[in-house]
Amino acid sequence: MEAISGGRAVHRPGTWALVTAVAPIAWGTTYFVTREYLPEGYPLYGALIRALPAGLLLLAIVRRRPHGSWWWKAVVLGTLNMGAFFVLVYLAAQLLPTSVASTVMAAAPVVMMLFAWALLGARPRVAQVLAAAIGILGVALLLLAGTRAVDPAGVIASVAALAMSSLGYVLAQRWSAGIDAVSLTAWQLVAAGLILAPVAVAVEGAPPAMDVTTVLAYGYITIVGTAVAFVAWFTGLRHLGAGTVGLIGLLNPVTGVLLGTLVAGELLTPRQLIGVLIVLAAVVLGQPGISRALVRLRAWMRA
């Protein structure tokens, strides 16, 4: 496995962008699965069942335990990126339409760029800032064209999840030189699960009853929406950096909107369709290869 570091490796950026895209696409589907198939009123157990099995699965694969400062770093990152984050996302998914819940998180590129600038000294490129602004426009079109009134509590939960995870992702990039993506993900998920377990029992009592559909839904979220998705995400941070990865994360709301329309019967208005196209344009614009091409074009025009 290759380590995740704070460097700006851009070798085969297209390949790493495709790998990274697995994460937001998978996350975009989890809102629908949570709303349709998971029991309401169990956000802590929902987060626990998502985190701990995924972490133990990855730990069994990689067979590498934390060492030194990574014992406390895993707890910090596990809380920011998974523990508290999963609870907040679970609440948002229960309180908001699929399209809106997945759209609020699309402000992540801006927040991640700011944290990366403050903590890593990674000044955003002009093309990234432009792409983020375009992405926000697309997000606004998606969000403001919702099919029903937006629950403020759901929006607050989404915004809190956005801030915590953005900080956690940048800290992971800063701390994790020499740590492969599978180990990094496994440690965080196990730490999050161990923190959530006693809290879930104390607050929510007995775990929710599960039928076959519920078990399958949890299995999908655990394996695809958590284990696979986070390994892909941290791999992207290793090779592309926070700014570019944050922009790829805009595929999350696109997935949520399209899935909500195709499967959940949510209305896709012309305004939302324009928003989807704008978001896709922002993702493309923010990629390193496109950024370099724009720099060359600007230099040619000035010559």
CB-based burial, 279-288: b 16+ in 10 Å, e otherwise: bebbbebbbb
Q: What is the pLDDT of residue 5?
A: 39
Give the C-alpha separation, 221 to 219, whole Å: 6
Give the Å distances, CA to CA, from 206 to 26, 71, 168, 224: 29, 29, 30, 26
- State the average pLDDT over residues 239-255: 87
Instruction: Report how many domains make up the chain.
Output: 1
Name the nearest CA neighbour of 122 among 244, 289, 283, 16. 244
Structural domain includes residue 131: no
Q: What is the pLDDT of residue 55?
A: 97
Q: What is the pLDDT of residue 6?
A: 40
Domain extent at residue 43: 3-123+149-252
Count of Cβ atoms closer than 10 Å to residue 12 Cβ: 11
Q: What is the pLDDT of residue 94?
A: 77
- Angle made by CA atoms 16, 18, 239, in degrees to the nearest 5: 15
Give the Å distances, CA to CA, from 279 to 21, 25, 138, 147: 14, 14, 5, 19
Count of Cβ atoms closer than 10 Å to residue 22 Cβ: 19
Backbone phi and psi for residue 277, each to the nearest 5 degrees, phi listed first: -65, -40
Q: What is the pLDDT of residues 112-138, one digit of tens each?
A: 999 999 998 888 888 888 888 898 888
Name the nearest CA neighbour of 233 among 244, 217, 221, 222. 244
Helix (H) or strand (E) holding 180: strand 179-180
Structural domain includes residue 115: yes
Percentage of the chain exceeding pLDDT 90: 43
Give the C-alpha separation, 153 to 151, whole Å: 5
Q: Which residue has the tokens 């979220």?
A: 221
Q: What is the pLDDT of residue 178?
A: 87
Kindly report the average pLDDT of the chain as a whole number.
85
Contact 51, 225 (CB under 8 A): no
Q: What is the pLDDT of residue 101?
A: 66
Radius of gyration of the chain (CA): 19
Q: Name the token pair of 232.
A: 């892909």
Give the C-alpha separation, 170 to 106, whole Å: 16
Give the C-alpha separation, 166 to 81, whole Å: 8
- State the average pLDDT over residues 4-32: 75
Q: Is the pLDDT of residue 99 over 70?
A: no
Structural domain includes residue 264: no
Structural domain includes residue 141: no
Structural domain includes residue 19: yes
Q: What is the pLDDT of residue 298?
A: 57
pTM, two decimals, is 0.84
Residues 6+ apart with CB under 8 A from 271: 141, 144, 145
Q: What is the pLDDT of residue 115?
A: 92
Give the C-alpha separation, 92 to 157, whole Å: 6
**Secondary structure (3-state) at 211:** coil
Residue type (1 letter), 160: A
Give the C-alpha separation, 153 to 47, whole Å: 18
**Secondary structure (3-state) at 3:** strand
Structural domain includes residue 276: no
Give the Å distances, CA to CA, from 170 to 4, 36, 274: 11, 32, 31
Structural domain includes residue 172: yes
Give the C-alpha separation, 253 to 275, whole Å: 10
Structural domain includes residue 223: yes
